[in-house]
């Protein structure tokens, strides 16, 4: 059955999804390689929908801040693309990787050019370019998220950033390897500090659904100004669809049918272009690093509403 999605119909859809998720026995396991995330209760769940005009609907823990982690890669990508356009794609690709998000393997075969902006190597390149452009990549990102979400209280979590730095040897290896191919401009230690701060930002489902609204509005920010051209917004959504959920992007497209980006904090942001944005949080992850409850909830959303890009 497809539910008619007038604005008032979103809340009943969310409540139905939350009831179904609550009855789901297996929720995965939190990311244990980042100690600050390991203690999260895998049965927590929140989901929010933001319409184009900023109206937000939510259920469960939709206003509870959590560690955004790789969700921030979408916003950093947009900020860099807005500043330098297609020049960015000379430094990072747009193809699915087929390998784990922190893999070193492909970099050597591809001469230090990461396969896409959402694996860790690609995100490091994008953050590096934003750092070169602004001198404070993480700070510019936080300012942007505060503005788009309307929440001036968004902040870095120092404990999470410190935890990631203490366990960041593989990211350091990725950075140094790309630097050896002249694909990193800034000193790797300084870049890693920016990257770990970026990933440590805490935000709620409501914050993230609002912040991603420019992708549903074809590049238009919450204040009506244009961040991206319509074509650039399409590009970001396309890369989200094909690369946004690590090496499970094909399965996500098959089940959900929306551009989406996941993070190991248990969040997923998804976009219905021209209609709305969604954010969901469930800390329990599957083996590929995606929220078990989050993927299931988005699957049910597109099934119940008929809203997808296909």
* Residues catalogued as catalytic: 70, 73, 195, 246, 264
Coil vs helix vs strand at 266: coil
CA distance 119 to 70: 9
Helix intervals (H) in 3-50: 10-22, 35-38
Q: Could you tell me if 286 and 292 are in contact, meaning their C-beta atoms sit under 8 angstroms apart?
A: yes
Q: Could you tell me if 62 and 208 are in contact, meaning their C-beta atoms sit under 8 angstroms apart?
A: no
Q: Name the DSSP class of 29.
A: B
Distance of CA 85 to the CA centre of its chain: 20
CA distance 138 to 50: 24
CA distance 119 to 163: 20
């Amino acid at each position: 059955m497809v539910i008619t999605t007038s604005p008032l119909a979103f809340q009943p859809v969310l409540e139905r999804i939350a009831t179904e998720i609550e009855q789901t026995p297996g929720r995965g396991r939190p990311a244990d390689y980042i100690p600050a995330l390991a203690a999260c209760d895998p049965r927590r769940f929140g989901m929010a929908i933001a319409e184009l005009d900023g109206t937000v609907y939510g259920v469960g823990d939709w206003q509870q801040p959590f560690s955004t982690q790789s969700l921030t890669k979408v916003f950093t990508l947009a900020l860099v693309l807005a500043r330098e356009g297609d020049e960015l794609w000379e430094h990072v690709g747009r193809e699915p990787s087929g390998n784990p998000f922190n893999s070193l393997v492909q970099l050597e075969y591809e001469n230090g050019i990461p396969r896409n902006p959402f694996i860790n190597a690609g995100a490091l390149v994008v953050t590096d370019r934003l750092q070169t452009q602004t001198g404070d990549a993480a700070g510019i990102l936080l300012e942007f998220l505060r503005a788009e979400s309307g929440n001036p209280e968004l902040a870095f979590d120092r404990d999470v950033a410190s935890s990631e730095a203490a366990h960041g040897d593989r990211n350091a290896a990725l950075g140094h390897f790309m630097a050896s191919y002249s694909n990193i401009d800034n000193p790797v230690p300084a870049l890693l500090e920016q990257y770990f701060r970026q990933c440590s930002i805490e935000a709620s489902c409501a914050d993230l659904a609002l912040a991603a609204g420019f992708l549903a509005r074809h590049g238009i920010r919450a204040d009506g100004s244009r961040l991206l051209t319509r074509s650039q917004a399409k590009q970001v959504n396309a890369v989200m669809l094909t690369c946004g959920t690590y090496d499970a992007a094909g399965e996500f497209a098959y089940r959900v049918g929306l551009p989406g980006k996941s993070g190991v904090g248990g969040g997923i942001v998804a976009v219905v272009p021209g209609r709305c944005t969604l954010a969901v949080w469930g800390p329990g992850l599957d083996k590929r690093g995606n929220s078990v409850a989050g993927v299931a909830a988005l699957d049910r959303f597109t099934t119940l509403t008929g809203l997808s890009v296909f």
